[in-house]
């Protein structure tokens, strides 16, 4: 069900009404109605109401996008919402048979989240450079194989490159690789790895995925591996990665994926946040497929790869403070029977030994 909002003037007189609803991803929230009495229009009430509605909706956990439907002939409403940064999407008919345009606006990137990522990974950069789970893996080999199948002379961008393992893997198959990351300490690890491996076609740049400093259609390949769960505004990040991709170019994402069941989704994202405060959310495969569809990316592959995590190494690599480790382990021990089974949580003598999650590799071609 939705929420109905009364809009009043300073005297408390009812002058308008709005209705909003929280809906399944990827939309997140929906503005079903915002109307101001004609006598009170063009006095700033609509703008003020929209400001309050957006602030409220974006403050809700997990909401990164607001959508709505506007009648195709309602030119003033289209101008109002597009002036607020909403982009026009599909032209379709609603459930009442009316012709509408769907509009959407993504949540702006969170500067505080960028700071959290820099703090977390600046301190742990060296550990990720030597992490076996990041330096190897069947899904990493698959990324390299997909890139190897692209036409020669390609230009690749590896977003949120971390210690550079994906950039290193694809470098032999392209003419140039740009490795970008928001954390300068990580890029120092990339540069050291580039030198030790004698790679001569790789450069680095500090960049935030939500505002990539590259022109449209700059790359034939864009990759991002085991990083998107840290992005504060993932729909915007995917849109940016697609923007810098040439038509016909290849986007390859690898990231932790959660089960479709809401309780298992909540469990895994909860323990991830306890371990690493820069974790935002791992998506379901359904959500990833929708993001690719929203950005006109034709899915070429969607594959899952299990990863077994020795618990102590997993905790130590993130530098979890000792005083916070009991709560993290307690969350695993308190997991439901379904969670224990789904994530193959191994417990010995009352201590967590290991668990398993899955990485999703999803690749799509830009239309």
225 and 139 in a single domain? The answer is yes
Whole-number pLDDT of residue 254: 97
CATH of the domain at 32: 3.40.630.30
Q: Which residues contact 52 (CB under 8 A, 6 or more apart)?
A: none
* pLDDT surpasses 90 at 264: yes
pLDDT number for residue 150: 97
Phi, psi of 284 (to 5 degrees): -85, 165
pLDDT of residue 216: 92
How confident is residue 1, by pLDDT bands cut at 50, 70 and 90?
Answer: low
Domain end (from 106, 124, 145): 106
User: How would residue 270 be classed by pLDDT, with cut points 50, 70 and 90?
Assistant: very high
Measure Cα distances from 63 to 178, 233, 248, 278 in Å: 31, 9, 31, 17
Residues 38 and 185 placed together within one structural domain of the fold: no
In the listed set 86, 106, 126, which residue is the last one of a domain according to the structure? 106
241 lies in the same domain as 305: yes
Tens digits of per-residue pLDDT, 43-94?
A: 888 988 998 898 888 878 778 789 899 999 999 999 899 888 888 877 888 8
Residue 123 has a pLDDT of 61
Higher pLDDT, 364 or 128: 364
* Domain tally, the chain: 2
DSSP 279-339: ---PBPHHHHHHHHHHTTEEEEEEEEEEEEEEHHHHHHHTT--GGGHHHHHHHHHT--HHH
Lowest mean per-residue pLDDT among 43-57, 147-161, 271-285? 43-57
Among 106, 121, 148, the domain-final residue is 106
Identify the pLDDT of residue 133. Answer: 59
CATH of the domain at 185: 3.40.50.150
One domain for residues 335 and 348: yes
pLDDT of residue 58: 83
Domain that holds residue 187: 111-366
**pLDDT band for position 136 (cuts 50, 70, 90):** low
Are 122 and 200 part of one and the same domain?
A: yes
pTM of the predicted structure, to 2 decimals: 0.71
């Amino acid at each position: 069900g939705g929420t109905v909002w009364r809009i009043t003037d300073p005297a408390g007189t009812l002058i308008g009404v709005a209705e909003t609803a929280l809906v399944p991803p990827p939309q997140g929230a929906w503005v079903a109605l915002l109307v101001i009495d004609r006598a009170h229009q063009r006095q700033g009430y609509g703008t003020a109401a929209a400001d309050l509605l957006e602030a409220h909706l974006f403050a809700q956990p997990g909401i990164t996008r607001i959508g709505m439907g506007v009648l195709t002939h309602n030119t003033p409403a289209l101008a109002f919402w597009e002036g607020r940064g909403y982009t026009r999407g599909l032209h379709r008919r609603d459930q009442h048979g009316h012709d509408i345009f769907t509009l959407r606006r993504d949540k702006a990137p969170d500067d505080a989240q960028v700071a959290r990522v820099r703090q977390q990974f600046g301190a742990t950069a060296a550990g990720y450079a030597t992490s076996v789970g990041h330096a190897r893996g069947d899904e990493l080999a698959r990324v390299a194989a997909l890139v190897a199948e692209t036409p020669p002379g390609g230009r690749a961008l590896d977003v949120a490159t971390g210690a550079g393992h994906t950039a290193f893997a694809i470098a032999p198959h392209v003419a140039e690789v740009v490795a970008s990351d928001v954390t300068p300490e990580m890029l120092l690890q990339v540069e050291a790895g580039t030198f030790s491996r004698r790679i001569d076609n790789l450069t680095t740049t500090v960049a935030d995925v939500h505002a990539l400093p590259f022109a449209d259609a700059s790359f034939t390949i864009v990759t991002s591996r085991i990083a998107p769960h840290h992005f504060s505004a993932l729909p915007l990040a995917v849109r940016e990665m697609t923007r810098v991709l040439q038509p016909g170019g290849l986007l390859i994402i690898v990231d932790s994926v959660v089960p479709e069941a809401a309780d298992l989704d909540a469990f895994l994202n909860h323990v991830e946040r306890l371990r690493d405060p820069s974790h935002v959310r791992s998506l379901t495969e359904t959500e990833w497929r929708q993001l690719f569809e929203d950005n006109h990316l034709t899915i070429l592959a969607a594959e899952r790869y299990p990863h077994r995590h020795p618990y102590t190494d997993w905790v130590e690599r993130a530098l979890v403070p000792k005083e916070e480790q009991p709560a993290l382990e307690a969350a695993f021990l308190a997991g439901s029977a379904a969670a224990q089974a789904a994530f193959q949580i191994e417990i010995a003598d009352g201590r967590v030994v290991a668990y398993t999650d899955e990485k999703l590799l999803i690749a799509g071609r830009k239309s």
